[in-house]
Amino acid sequence: MIVVTTPTGQIGREVVARLLDAGEGSVPVRVIARDPAALAPQVRERVEVVHGSHADPVVLKEACQGADQVFWLVPPTSTAPDSEAHYGAFTDRLCEVIEAQGTKRVVAVSTLGRGVAQNAGLISTGLAMDERIAATGVHYRALCPPALMENTLRQLAAIRDTGVFDTSHVADRVLRLCATRDVGAAAARLLLDDSWTGRADVPLVGPDDLTPEGMAAVLAEVLGRPVRTRFAPVTELRAGLLRAGATEDWVRSYTAMVTAQNEQGFYGASQLPTPGLAPTTFRQWCEEVLRPAAES
3-state helix, strand, coil in the chain (%, to 5): 45, 15, 40
Residues 6+ apart with CB under 8 A from 73: 5, 6, 9, 11, 12, 108, 109
Confidence of residue 24 (pLDDT cuts 50, 70, 90): low
Q: What is the mean pLDDT of residues 201-210?
A: 97
The answer, yes or no, to whether residue 26 has pLDDT greater than 80, is no
> What confidence tens digit (pLDDT) does each residue in 244-279 have?
999 999 999 999 999 999 999 999 999 999 999 999
Whether 288 contacts 220, CB under 8 Å:
no
Residue-averaged pLDDT of the chain: 95
Confidence of residue 25 (pLDDT cuts 50, 70, 90): low
The answer, yes or no, to whether residue 294 has pLDDT greater than 80, is yes
The answer, yes or no, to whether residue 221 has pLDDT greater than 90, is yes
Q: Encode 71-80: b = buried (16+ Cβ within 10 Å), e = exposed.
A: bbbbbbeeeb
Cα angle for residues 12, 55, 86 (degrees, 5° grid): 95
Distance CA 235, CA 206 (A): 29
- In terms of Cα–Cα distance, which of 78, 101, 77, 104 is closest to 90? 77
> What confidence tens digit (pLDDT) does each residue in 194-203 have?
999 999 999 9
Give the helix/strand (H/E) hosting 153. none
- pLDDT at residue 256, as a whole number: 96
Whether 241 contacts 75, CB under 8 Å:
no
- In terms of Cα–Cα distance, which of 99, 31, 111, 36 is closest to 63? 31
Please return the burial class of 233, using the count of CB atoms within 10 Å of its CB with bins 0-12, 13-18 and 19+: exposed
The answer, yes or no, to whether residue 290 has pLDDT greater than 90, is yes
Provide the 8-state DSSP code for 107: E
Whether 33 contacts 39, CB under 8 Å:
yes
φ, ψ (nearest 5 deg) of residue 193: -110, 115
Q: What is the mean pLDDT of residues 15-30?
A: 85
Superfamily of domain 2-146+178-203: NAD(P)-binding Rossmann-like Domain (3.40.50.720)
Distance CA 257, CA 101 (A): 34
* Secondary structure of residue 225 in the 3-state scheme: coil
- pLDDT at residue 104, as a whole number: 94
Q: Which residues pair with 139 in a beta bridge?
A: 105
Confidence of residue 22 (pLDDT cuts 50, 70, 90): confident
Whether 210 contacts 286, CB under 8 Å:
no
> What confidence tens digit (pLDDT) does each residue in 132-164 have?
999 999 999 999 999 999 999 999 999 999 999
Cα angle for residues 292, 294, 296 (degrees, 5° grid): 65
φ, ψ (nearest 5 deg) of residue 10: -60, -40
